[in-house]
Structure 1
Amino acid sequence: MSEIMPSLFLGHGSPMNLILENSFTEALEALSKELPAPKAILVISAHWYTTQTAVSISSGIAYETLYDFYGFPPSLYELSYPSPTNNTLSKRIADLLDVPLVERGLDHGAWMPLHFLFPKANIPIIQLSLNKNLPLALHVKMGEQLKVLREEGIMIIGSGNITHNLGLVDFYNINAPAVEWAKNVDTFVDKAFTCNDTDALIRIESLCPDFKTAHPAIDHYLPLLYIAGTRKEEDEINVITPFFQNASLSMRGFMLH
């Protein structure tokens, strides 16, 4: 039998984390030494936000690295993450959810954290898109459908941010003190997730007054709902990377194992 794989939600923050050394990147590098080796990884990234739920495939032997960010130092565009494909598993996941397959590379929400967690890029990676038209409860339900994959040796990672308002980010000071509204949302989500209060996570727009400030668009919040759905009764929860960057970006993550 396969080892039951962890399920993780990770904040990924700015692409600059790829070339910086800070408490966040150091924590991911430390976590990489603790994680078991999965057969494959399914990533739900904030940066595949579209009008349907779909599963990635590739016609090549490795996924293309997508540089879906602009105006950053040239050294960022020299990095790559050529993870192998597993189109048989892609089809298995698409059948499980009854959704289509789409040819697509790995966006930075997927390969940024994997660059630290699995730097050899030798594990098959598959992405699942976020359907912007679904109500929040259905994103959780989809996570519940995916839960079985953990028993098949597949790690599930949601990649977004608990707070994400780029209009209110202090781009010039990564260590700027966290602003109050961001701390309020971070505290709400931390409590709801660790207490397994899925209803609060679904109803957050009405329960947490600062949520709409934290998420003018909801794309970076949605991956958390999938990970909430993958929770098993016997899971322990570890809080990982409980940091803020740039005054308003919560980097907090969770690991279910």
Structure 2
Amino acid sequence: MNSISNTVLPEHLLQQLKPSPRMPVMFIGHGSPMNVIEDTHWRQSWKAMGQELSAKGIAPQLILCVSAHWLSESDWSLTGMAQPRTIHDFGGFPQELFDQRYPAPGAPEVAKQLAAQLHSPLDNSALLVDHDWGFDHGTWSVLLPMFPEAKIPVMQLSMPYGLAPEKHFEMGRQLRALRDKGVLIVGSGNVVHNLRAMRRDVADNQAFDWTIQFDNEVQQRFDSGNLADLSTFLDWGPQARLAHPTHDHYLPLLYAAGAVQDGEAPRIFNAAYQYGALSMRSAIWGLNA
């Protein structure tokens, strides 16, 4: 069990983010919450990614995470508390999973600054600052293996679910500038996510035809660099509705893709499947910049 510590917010984050070497941006397929406590190769890859970032001297001032599990109505919100709680937003799992904590600090003053700096693509209004949410499992389940010391301040950005996909991509475009201020942007969801179709008896290299087809179509956009076209996924045919009966797990990809700078090529990892109906495909851009 990871106990909560009295982490002190770094002094430089009490005022403002400082210019820094450009941070990468990543999209992570997080899959089942069990991945955080089982020694799966997904978890191993998240741990290895954190170790690689550290070895390359990539030290974020802040991690901004967009998770599939924080949906808002019509406005965007940023978590603004000093010590965000760990949310166990699931049921029917072992107690060990509920015992997990991710005690990373928040960044209240930075949240206020970013809420004023960013604006809604709908009406140009400022973002809201939230003091109730915390870290849902889309955030802490991947950050815990990646940054186990939980010393880097973390902030979540909500997603207004009812908006057109291109509006989410537009918000991602605004996040690009934050990468030059020491912010590591992490989108956490799944390229394919259909819980009703899951088959727990299939191997990680097996999936439904529609899972593979939709997964390949996303990879084609990665390869071409036409990331804006990821917003058109609802027009790709019946496989899109099978891949995402609801598209909450797809939307974080649009934020990550929007934050990619022109010409940045992705490095793909975890290009496989879980339970036949989840794509764990993940990507990081700008790691070697």
TM-score, normalising length: structure 2 = 0.85
Matched, 1:99 2:99: no
Specify the alignment match of 2:69 in structure 1: 47
Specify the alignment match of 1:83 in structure 2: 104
Q: CA deviation at 1:54?
A: 0.9
> Secondary structure at 2:91's aligned position in 1?
coil
Specify the alignment match of 1:29 in structure 2: 47
1:203-214 mapped onto 2 (5 Å cutoff): 203-214=232-243
Q: CA deviation at 1:176?
A: 6.7
Name the aligned partner's letter for residue 50 of structure 2: S
Which sits farther off after the overlay, 168-177 or 204-213?
A: 168-177
Give the 4+ runs in structure 1 shifted more than 6 A: none
Residue 11 of structure 1: which of 29, 34, 40 is its match? 29
Q: Share of identical aligned residues, percent?
A: 36
Could you tell me whether the CA contact under 8 Å between 2:222 and 2:266 is conserved in 1? no
> Secondary structure at 1:33's aligned position in 2?
helix
> Secondary structure at 1:210's aligned position in 2?
helix
Q: CA deviation at 1:46?
A: 0.4
Q: CA deviation at 1:194?
A: 3.0
Which sits farther off after the overlay, 117-126 or 236-245?
A: 236-245
Specify the alignment match of 2:210 in structure 1: 181
Deviation readout 1:186-232 (Å, 9 max, x if unpaired): 00011112322234311111124301001011100000011111111
Deviation readout 1:11-55 (Å, 9 max, x if unpaired): 000011011112211111111111222000000000001203111
Specify the alignment match of 1:240 in structure 2: 269
Could you tell me whether the CA contact under 8 Å between 2:228 and 2:258 is conserved in 1? no
Classify 1:236/1:192 alpha carbon distance in 2 versus 1 (closer, same or farther; 3 Å).
closer
> Secondary structure at 1:219's aligned position in 2?
coil
Could you tell me whether the CA contact under 8 Å between 1:140 and 1:225 is conserved in 2? yes
Q: Following the alignment from structure 2 to structure 1, what is the Cα–Cα distance between the partners of residues 228 and 78?
A: 27
Give 5+ residue unaligned stretches, structure 2: 1-18, 120-125
Could you tell me whether the CA contact under 8 Å between 1:40 and 1:154 is conserved in 2? yes
Q: CA deviation at 1:173?
A: 4.7
Residue 89 of structure 2: which of 42, 49, 68 is its match? 68
Specify the alignment match of 2:122 in structure 1: none
Deviation readout 1:77-103 (Å, 9 max, x if unpaired): 111001111111111221122211111
When the two chains are superposed, the root-mean-square deviation of aligned CA atoms in Å is 1.4
Max Rg structure = 2
1:55-204 mapped onto 2 (5 Å cutoff): 55-58=78-81, 61-95=82-116, 96-97=118-119, 98-103=126-131, 104-173=133-202, 175=204, 177-204=206-233
Q: CA deviation at 1:172?
A: 4.6
Q: CA deviation at 1:234?
A: 4.1
Q: CA deviation at 1:134?
A: 1.3
